Amino acid sequence: MNLNINKNWHQQHYDSRGFGSRVADSVAKGMGSWSFIILQTVFVIVWMGLNLVAYVKHWDAYPFILLNLLFSTQAAYAAPIIMMSQNRQNERDRIQAQEDYITNKEAKLEIEALAKKLNAIDVDKLDKIIKMLEDMK
């Protein structure tokens, strides 16, 4: 028995993601949040503050080359992961657009069929009215 019958295309697409896809989506979602921006800002302030006030041992003295290296490494990994997630989103959007097109096409055919039926009913009513008027004469 096929259990996918009750699932819509979006749920099927979501369930079909592999481990890497789920990780990429989670990373993109996390990095694209205010929580991430705030945490990273706090991290930078603490890093710089500790390095500026550390009289004995600066592990990353101004101009914070190690911090820049960390951010460069983060960007080098984050960009392709976010692009993978965006590519998957584009694929999902294409599927949605195709499903919308099919739905719209079916709706158009149903509306045209209903319009023909209504037109036939109107013609039938007019024919009956004309016949009644002719019978009255």
One-character DSSP codes across the chain: --GGGGS-HHHHHHHT--HHHHHHHHHHHHHTSHHHHHHHHHHHHHHHHHHHH-SS--SS-TTTHHHHHHHHHHHHHHHHHHHHHHHHHHHHHHHHHHHHHHHHHHHHHHHHHHHHHHHHHHHHHHHHHHHHHHHH-
Q: What is the domain partition of the chain in residue ranges?
A: 18-136
Instruction: List C-alpha distances in Å: 81 to 24, 25, 91, 94, 124.
Output: 5, 8, 16, 20, 64
Q: How far apart are CA 68 and CA 58, in angstroms?
A: 15
In this predicted model, what pLDDT tens digit does every residue of 4-35 receive, in sequence order?
556 676 677 677 778 888 888 888 888 889 99
- Split at pLDDT 50, 70, 90, the class of 1 is very low
Give the global pTM. 0.60
Rounded mean pLDDT, 107-117: 95
Contact 25, 17 (CB under 8 A): yes
Q: Is the pLDDT of residue 3 over 60?
A: no
